Amino acid sequence: MSRLSDKYGNVRILIFVVFIWIGVCIAAYFTTTSTQFYIVAVVVGLVMGGIQSLSRSTYSKFLPQNISDTASFFSFYDVTEKLAIVGGLFSFGFIEEITGSMRNSTLVLGTFFVVGLLLLFSLLKAEKISKKNTDFSAS
């Protein structure tokens, strides 16, 4: 993914990978055979590490450049990551308990990815505006 992010930018590749995750959630909803399960599992294995490292890299690119203590920012990142894990697992179990089906839980997780996708699109828009203002002030 690093080559793709070099060519297209981190945020665009994150958007692409989040689309894959939405597809994984939808595919998990419709999975009925062990072969389908293994195919979904392979896709998860291929994109999980990449999205984690790419999101951490993207986060570091948006940190203020004039600070000496970046550890506090990454501590915040780690805490929010852990909270997201707990929230995701809780919502998965809660929805499964209410509806009696893990399939519905996968759709709820998919909606979390849709929210993240909307946030990434807003970040992409802000990045374009920032770049335009920088290009304008440089001329």
Domain membership of residue 22 as a residue range:
2-61+70-138
Average pLDDT over residues 125-136: 75
pLDDT, tens only, 68-89: 888 899 999 999 999 999 999 9
> Which contacts of 109-114 are long-range, i.e. CB under 8 A and separated by 24 or more positions?
109/25, 110/21, 110/22, 110/25, 110/26, 110/29, 112/88, 113/18, 113/21, 113/22, 113/25, 114/22
pLDDT, tens only, 11-70: 999 999 999 999 999 999 999 999 999 999 999 999 998 898 899 998 888 888 888 888
How many domains, in total, are found in the chain? 1
